[in-house]
Amino acid sequence: MTKEEFIADIRAGIPEVLPQPQAYDKSINHAPKRKDILSVEEKKLALRNALRYFPKKFHATLAPEFADELETYGRIYMYRFRPTYEMYARPIDEYPHRSQQAAAIMMMIQNNLDKAVAQHPHELITYGGNGAVFQNWAQYRLVMKYLSEMTDEQTLVMYSGHPLGLFPSHKNAPRVVVTNGMVIPNYSKPDDWERFNALGVSQYGQMTAGSYMYIGPQGIVHGTTITVLNAARKVGGNNMKLFVTAGLGGMSGAQPKAGNIAGVVSVTAEINPLAARKRYDQGWVDELHESLDELIPAIRKAVDEKRVVSMAYVGNVVDLWERLAEDNIHVDLGSDQTSLHNPWAGGYYPVGISLEESKRMMAEEPEKFKEKVQASLRRQVAAINKLTANGMYFFDYGNAFLLESSRAGADIMNADGKFRYPSYVQDIMGPMFFDYGFGPFRWVCSSGNPKDLETTDRIATEVLEELRKTSTPDIIGQLDDNIHWIKEAGKNKLVVGSQARILYADSEGRTKIALAFNEAIKRGEISRPVVLGRDHHDVSGTDSPYRETSNIYDGSQFCADMAIQNVIGDSFRGATWVSIHNGGGVGWGEVINGGFGMVIDGGEDAERHIRQMLLWDVNNGISRRSWARNEGSVDAIKREMERTPDLHVTLPNFVDDDIINEAYK
């Protein structure tokens, strides 16, 4: 397709002439068939809902086709309308646009759907088994058309993948406001998601999928690297560390690369051979093993030789855990990174059942499948318990492993009713990073030029090194890890899709890096605008009692005020787009995620937006964590108030335990 044809296709939106049906591409990793949950009347409603995107002249042709999709896949994806052009993040100037900000958003959307990036690209799912950019291809087409027409005096409103429309606003308003899965709380159970998604009225946006801010596996690599480095420090000693986990699909294959950067032997189980092969072909995993009889000696040899290597086991993780326990292999670090927030619809596959049989069972026998999953979790936990008894440090990676294992009746609870194992946020990320304002700061070079990315890497390094000169002892370790990361990032070839980078920084670090980028764009040192954003594993944007806010103990870990306030505050302080999501990481109904994107172009408006919005985006969370009596956050917000005279935060008073105990003698 020529550039002119690409532009015409974008501008057309829903085409005037019905495209030809497309063959189902079996070489692509597809989403599993979803649960058949709708009644006949509800299926009719789903069909009616889908057809409202199209003129009446198409209805007779599309109705049976969409009905067949609903029966075959459990969803109406509208495969016929999938674009025939290659899907990837083009340089910003190649998109038809009236607003440069809108063009940047188009670039980010296409990156999320790039087959090298997305988990199930033809089903518009980026990661996590169900993290969707849109529900169907009609929505994609309409959104791209709207963005191509948008001015800086309009805002596109997105309801769970559906473009409600372009509305008049003003240049300092967000160009796009995204909501995903904002259903009434009493209707936010997993089956509710299945029903509403099948009806075409709601979707699970995860966070960076539905907020157009996914930067491929790199983001997860960084978080996993930092986690593994600090977990290894907790274990201590100079021996070669063995790290065992699972999930190369939903987690984007981050664990092997992170293991290599952290200097350990890593073994990641993955039941889907396509997902495992994809990561191997990308160079993200060093070795593929399909036999435990072959894998176990390979593990022993690598540990003995102190050789940094990443291995993928193409098989079920429970078989791996049980064999490790049976053979008395000493595992230093253990976790699970399957998409257990989505246990009944492809996030976890039970032991003893093939991948294909599992896919059939979850669609046709969902209750039996649930029983198999829960039995599998009980076996998995039993094996993990044996290994932890021999010295393994096991942590929940925020994928709802502890939660779903407890619901399955696994031996995962202590006598006091608390989980036997910590969340990585409780032990590592919360007290060491989030409480001090450190979290995943991301940027994308809209030129698509690797040289621009090299320049941003250099600038970010210089800023962090300068900050380190005057940093307090409690954050020097974080700065050192991230300086090392950014210096090594280019060498490790972490870019998949857009020219993007991630590092952990606090409010001061993010602001100074962004301002330095803005000045470099102004000077022409960076050739085109830069898109700023972040992940949900952060200080301020996410309320999740079993993950991001699991180290908050004042009872507010179940409240979502912070995430909602975050998005509202970002929207009037300069964000180019904002998003709020039910679900992400730990599941539908278990978390509220807030996100943003900001386009900086070297101008004065961008400078003002950076100073105002990034300060709020981080310190909203530090303030909340401080009020929860997290001492690191109390110290951090006091330092921020010294730097920012107009900031006045309510600080907690600490009460002595004996006074509380005396009141309840």
Instruction: Reply yes or no on whether the pLDDT at 149 is more than 80.
Output: yes
Structural domains of the chain, ranges and CATH numbers in brackets:
3-199 (no CATH), 239-422 (3.40.50.10730), 437-657 (3.40.1770.10)
| Span 3-32, average pLDDT | 95
Q: What is the mean pLDDT of residues 638-660?
A: 97
Question: Is 436 known to sit in a ligand binding site?
Answer: no
**CA distance linking residue 466 with residue 581, whole number of Å:** 36
**The whole model's pTM is what?**
0.89
Coil, helix or strand for 401? helix
CA dihedral (603, 605, 609, 612) positive or negative: positive
pLDDT at residue number 317: 96
| pLDDT of 541 | 93
Residues 286-289: contacts with CB within 8 Å, 24+ apart?
286/256, 286/260, 286/310, 286/311, 287/311, 287/312, 288/312, 288/314, 289/313, 289/314
pLDDT of res. 519: 98
- Predicted local confidence at residue 224, as pLDDT: 86
Q: pLDDT of 174-211, one tens digit each?
A: 999 999 999 999 999 989 999 999 999 999 998 899 99
- What's the average model confidence in pLDDT over 497-501? 96
Residue 96: CA count within 13 A, CB half-sphere: 17
pLDDT digit string, tens, across residues 116-146: 999 999 999 998 888 999 999 999 999 999 9
Q: Distance from CA of residue 347 to its chain's centroid?
A: 14
79 is in an annotated binding site: no
For residue 252, pLDDT beyond 70: no
pLDDT at 157 over 90: yes
DSSP one-letter string for 61-88: HHHHHHHHHHHHHSS---GGGS-SS--S
**Residue 468 contacts residue 479 (beta carbons within 8 Å):** yes
Mean pLDDT across 507-516: 97
Cα 425 to Cα 186: distance, rounded to the nearest angstrom: 27
DSSP state of 490: T
Output the pLDDT for position 239. 82
Per-residue confidence (pLDDT) for residue 591, from 0 to 100: 94
pLDDT for the residue numbered 112: 97
Q: What is the DSSP string of 206-261?
A: TTTTTTT--BTBHHHHHHHHHHHHHHHHHH-SSSPPEEEEE-SSTTTTHHHHHHHH
More confident residue, 351 or 221: 351
Distance of CA 250 to the CA centre of its chain: 9
Classify strands 265-270 and 242-246 as parallel, antiparallel or unpaired: parallel
Listed range (285-294, 303-312, 396-405, 596-605) with the worst mean pLDDT: 396-405
Is the pLDDT reported for residue 342 higher than 90?
A: no
Q: What is the pLDDT of residue 508?
A: 96
Sign of CA dihedral 557, 560, 564, 567: positive
Q: Quote the pLDDT of residue 492.
A: 81
185 CB contacts (<8 Å, ≥6 apart)?
589
Per-residue HEC secondary structure of 510-544 comes to HHHHHHHHHHHHHHCCCCCCEEEEECCCCCCCEEC
Looking at residue 118, its pLDDT comes to: 94
Please report the DSSP string for 104-144 in residue order: HHHHHHHHHH-TTT-SBGGGTEEETTTEES-SSHHHHHHHH
pLDDT of amino acid 466: 97
Q: How confident is the model at residue 253 (pLDDT cuts 50, 70, 90)?
A: confident
- At 93, the amino acid letter reads D
Q: To the nearest whole number, what is the mean pLDDT of the chain?
A: 94
Least Cα distance to 213 among 31, 399, 10, 440 occurs for 440
Residue 251 predicted with pLDDT over 70: no
Residue 585 annotated as binding?
yes
Percent of the chain residues past pLDDT 90, beyond the cut:
81
> What is the model's pLDDT at position 264?
94
- 127 annotated as a binding-site residue: no
Render pLDDT for 426-455 as a digit per residue (tens, 0 to 9).
888 888 889 999 999 999 999 999 999 999
**What pLDDT is recorded for position 228?**
87
In the chain, the percentage of residues whose pLDDT exceeds 70 is 100
